[in-house]
Amino acid sequence: MPVRVLESSTPSQVSGANSGQTSFQACTLLGAGQAFSGTQNVSSLQKDEAWRVNVRIQGCDLEHGYLCGTMEALNVPMADTPVVTFWEGEIVDAKNYTFFTGKWEATPDDDIRHWTKFSSFSPLQAQVEADGGKSLDLSNYPHIFMRWKEQYFVNVGTDCGLTIAGFYYVCFSCIDGSISGFYYDPNSSPFQKLELKSTNEGRLGFSFSSYELQ
Amino acid sequence: MPTTSASSITTPPLSSTTSDPILDRLASSDCEIKLKSIREVKNKIIGNRTKKLSYIKLGTVPVVASVLAEADANSDSGANLIVQSAAVLGSFACGVDAGVRAVLDTGVLPRLFNLLSAADEKVVDATARSLRMIYQSKLAPKCDFFLEKNREFLLSLLKNENENLTVLGASIVIHSCETSEEQNILCYAGVLEKIIGLLDGSLSQRDACLESLATILKNNPEAVSKFMAHHGGRALNSIIELTKDRYSRTRLLACLCLICVKNSSSCHLQDLGIKTKLVYILLELLDDPGQVGDEASLAFSSLIAEKEDLHKLAFEANAIDKFYCHLQKSSSNPRRLEGIFLALGDLCSKLECCRSRFLTLQVLSLVVDALVHDNADVRKAACICLRNSSRSIKNLSAGHFMNESIVIPLVQLLSDLSISVQVAALGALSNIVAGITPRKSVFIQCGGIKGLVQSTKSMDSSLRLNAVWALRNMVFHAEKTCTEAVFMELTASSIANLIHDPESSVQEQTLALVRNFVDGLIDFVEYAFAEDGIIFDAVVRRLRESSKAEIRIQGIYVLCNIASGNEFHKEAVMHQLFPEAEDGSDSFFNQCLQSNDSRLSTAAVWVIVNLTNPTSPGAFGRVVKLRNFGIVSRIKKMVNDPCMDVKLRARMALDQIPIGES
């Protein structure tokens, strides 16, 4: 199983990007340190199964449409411990990345098929099908669309029997910090769903920390 | 004369115990013997640093200066003495600081300048060459260009037909012109025209022209505009041609000149063609084994610094590989090493692809080796390179930097004799400990926390700032043992003091550090209340006293995080934000809620979201109080804020307020 994508994660750049487009506004619930927990449905024809999943955002660079984090899968049958992976995300902002993936064996049809599974994508669908969503102003939209691609296993070897060949289509709600996603891998069961909620980790409210690289 | 003093020549008496008989003969009254002795000294010291130092110790320089001063330039014998003495003095000054000092101490400079107007061409040439040697040194006195007579003298040198004089004029510009005021006054005095005229001259004149032009234009858009307006096209084309010259030094100086124009202009030399050319020429010049190769990397840095498009160009030209190759060749030249590390640092400053290539090639190990170099500039450049290459949360998370071989030497540099090296080491460490990096215990075991905390107590504000910054990054989502270790070493009272540091940047980083301390497990909120709550009190006081947005943002988030705790914590925040005795209309918290900075108003709304969290028993009472203070009606207005985050948080808060209260 490939541990990480060996080619560089070249962005699905908008050619002739509109440099005058409004830059993305931050959403405090999608910042470094924020944690989410929920489940990943890994059902196949043979069985129904769901893993508990914890996600933590580790870095967020809105200007470049980039974020990254870790994903911890609990109660994985073939693993003795929770399995942690490091992932990188592309934020669909019509500046750095569009709704069309352009790599990872995902065709435009695959893209539309997945994005339409998010109800919050409906108002945008017509424009995306017409021009790829280039003229959309997503900066004020209360949902953020992303692709998350796991890059490597943090705490297990590549012989753990798991694959990270695919990627997730992700929709984040700025309203309540909930996340839903669909895993895409031509060699895996389709539409395996990821559902996460923002977690307060035992607190009676929301807490935010920060770091800054020099 | 462009010298600042005209002291008389000082000649200490020759000791009767001089060990070299040549020096005895120098004291002879016979001109022929004196001349022969001076020639002998000249032949012994030329190209021989050891001999130069030895003769300087023997007191030779003042004697020779005295010979030059007393000789009659209008006589043949006097002229010969002057020519040879000038050559000796120039040789002493050439590349030897002690020699320059010795020459300057004799007070012979004014005499040398006087002799530039001698009738005898050989005297003029010898004197000019001697002065050129002196003006290659940083120790030479600066020429005051604000004096008209000095500018006139300079112009007279530059327009002279004698090559030695024109080059001397350019050398004086190179040495003395530093500030923008000096650059401008030279532009307006017509010096630019004269210098540009040297472009068509000999090799020495061309090189001197290029170097002095760069000196006048560097970082000065006004000077560049004037240059381009009056001379631009033709001169620029000539300089571009010189980037292809067969002499490497000329190519380098031409590149430097073009870089000065490019960096100070938004419209000249901005096309892809010239940028590409400059990148490739400078990379090729790295192969020069001498000073040109040393300077090429520094020129490369000044070309690409802060310019992402040039980083991309350089990456595509395999710049990282080329610099790595040069690093691998065993070169002990500190200047070359420093230049290479700074260039690699610049290349890694913005683009992930460059940092990836840097790590793939394993340049890291060579940079780490340089952390213990004898030369402070090399150590500093290596730290800067480390800092920039670690500016990647992806690579930090993969654990590429958190290992003993890197951390131990960096922690040791926190006690370096040079403050600037300490600051650079702190910069690198603040990245390496950042994020949710694995194995921070490595850093703790290496004594890293002690080192950082020690730096927070420094008298130097840059050290305090960078140390607190590193601690902040370290505590971000750190394991409990790590957070506890930092808190115990730093102490609550120390943190409270840093919140009130004289420097606002230190205050800001300390508040961000506290914000991280009180995040994570709910127990961590107690950190703010250690030692009778001095940290909590200090945070509130800072919020009341400072109106700076950055400070308020961090401070409000501290309160937000505390307010996500238990009842005691929430009530503590309520008590400070909404004291009974005040009506709160112009409170600092209201100011934050109403701020035009959406980051601050969002943070303030999060405090309200936490205070009104319905799962908390005292929520209802707090809602009533907030309504009485006008906060609820303030929040209602915020649901129409143009900033989406503010809007959504306001709605979130209102959703938590019971119907009838909102």
At residue A1 the predicted structure's pLDDT band, cuts being 50, 70 and 90, is: very low
B contact test, residue of A9, A207, A208, A210 with most B CBs within 10 A: A207
Token pair listed for B256: 């430097």
Burial B49-70 (b: 16+ CB within 10 A, else e): eeebeebbebbbbbbbbbbbbe
With contact defined as beta carbons under 8 Å apart, do B477 and B436 qualify?
Answer: yes
Q: How far apart are CA A207 and CA A204, in angstroms?
A: 9
* pLDDT for res A15: 20
Using the Cβ of A32 and the Cβ atoms of chain B, whether some distance falls under 8 Å is answered with yes
Using the Cβ of A27 and the Cβ atoms of chain B, whether some distance falls under 8 Å is answered with yes
Nearest CB among B353, B598, B615 relative to A204 is that of B615
With contact defined as beta carbons under 8 Å apart, do B224 and B264 qualify?
Answer: yes
At residue A24 the predicted structure's pLDDT band, cuts being 50, 70 and 90, is: low
Token pair listed for B376: 């402070």
Whether B521 and A202 lie within 8 Å, measured CB to CB: yes
Using the Cβ of B353 and the Cβ atoms of chain A, whether some distance falls under 8 Å is answered with yes
Position A80 pLDDT exceeds 90: no
Using the Cβ of A111 and the Cβ atoms of chain B, whether some distance falls under 8 Å is answered with no
Using the Cβ of B555 and the Cβ atoms of chain A, whether some distance falls under 8 Å is answered with no
**Of B142, B49, B125, B135, residue with least CA distance to B84:** B125
At residue A26 the predicted structure's pLDDT band, cuts being 50, 70 and 90, is: confident
Position A106 pLDDT exceeds 90: yes
Q: How far apart are CA A12 and CA B473, in angstroms?
A: 32
Give A 125-154 residues with CB within 8 A of chain B: 140, 142, 151-152, 154
Token pair listed for B499: 């919140």
* pLDDT for res A12: 28
Question: Which has the higher per-residue pLDDT, A30 or A47?
Answer: A30
Task: Determine the residue type at A33.
Answer: G
Residue A31 parent element (H or E):
none
* pLDDT for res B169: 95
* pLDDT for res A2: 18
Q: How far apart are CA A173 and CA A30, in angstroms?
A: 9
Chain A contact set for B390 (CB, 8 A): 213
> CA nearest A87 in B: which residue?
B394
> CA nearest B398 in A: which residue?
A154
* pLDDT for res A189: 81
Whether A213 and B645 lie within 8 Å, measured CB to CB: no
Nearest CB among A25, A33, A214 relative to B427 is that of A214
Chain B contact set for A151 (CB, 8 A): 394
pLDDT above 90 covers what percent of chain A?
59
**Of A140, A136, A168, A197, residue with least CA distance to A67:** A168
Which residues are within 8 A (CB) of B554 and not within 5 positions of it... i.e. 6 or more apart? B508, B511, B512, B514, B515
* pLDDT for res B9: 57
Token pair listed for B592: 């934050």
Token pair listed for B352: 């992930």
With contact defined as beta carbons under 8 Å apart, do A59 and B393 qualify?
Answer: yes
Chain A contact set for B393 (CB, 8 A): 32, 58-59, 68, 213
At residue A42 the predicted structure's pLDDT band, cuts being 50, 70 and 90, is: confident
Using the Cβ of A59 and the Cβ atoms of chain B, whether some distance falls under 8 Å is answered with yes
* pLDDT for res B583: 61
Using the Cβ of B512 and the Cβ atoms of chain A, whether some distance falls under 8 Å is answered with yes
Q: In Å, how far is A84's CA from the nearest CA of chain B?
A: 12
Chain B contact set for A35 (CB, 8 A): none
Chain A contact set for B397 (CB, 8 A): 58, 68, 70, 86, 154
A contact test, residue of B387, B393, B432 with most A CBs within 10 A: B393
Using the Cβ of B113 and the Cβ atoms of chain A, whether some distance falls under 8 Å is answered with no
Chain A contact set for B519 (CB, 8 A): 33, 207-209
Q: In Å, how far is A148's CA from the nearest CA of chain B?
A: 14
CA dihedral of residues B415, B420, B421, B427 (deg, nearest 10): 100
Helix orientation angle between B549-563 and B530-545, rounded to the nearest 10 degrees: 140
What is the sign of the dihedral through the CA atoms of A50, A52, A58 and A61? positive
Which residues are within 8 A (CB) of B325 and not within 5 positions of it... i.e. 6 or more apart? none
> CA nearest B618 in A: which residue?
A204
In a 3-state reduction of DSSP, which class is residue A140? coil
Using the Cβ of B389 and the Cβ atoms of chain A, whether some distance falls under 8 Å is answered with no
* pLDDT for res A49: 80
Q: How far apart are CA A79 and CA A40, in angstroms?
A: 16
Chain B contact set for A30 (CB, 8 A): none
With contact defined as beta carbons under 8 Å apart, do A139 and A25 qualify?
Answer: yes
* pLDDT for res B8: 54
DSSP-derived secondary structure for B385-409: HHHHHT--HHHHHTTSS-SHHHHHH
Position A6 pLDDT exceeds 50: no
pLDDT above 70 covers what percent of chain A?
86
Whether B645 and A8 lie within 8 Å, measured CB to CB: no
Q: How far apart are CA B31 and CA B37, in angstroms?
A: 10
Using the Cβ of A7 and the Cβ atoms of chain B, whether some distance falls under 8 Å is answered with no
Nearest CB among B436, B564, B643 relative to A203 is that of B564
At residue A5 the predicted structure's pLDDT band, cuts being 50, 70 and 90, is: very low
With contact defined as beta carbons under 8 Å apart, do A31 and A57 qualify?
Answer: yes
Position A141 pLDDT exceeds 80: yes
Q: Which residues of chain B have pLDDT under 50?
A: 1-7, 15-17, 661-662
B contact test, residue of A57, A141, A211, A212 with most B CBs within 10 A: A211
Using the Cβ of B605 and the Cβ atoms of chain A, whether some distance falls under 8 Å is answered with no
Q: Does the ipTM surpass 0.90?
A: no
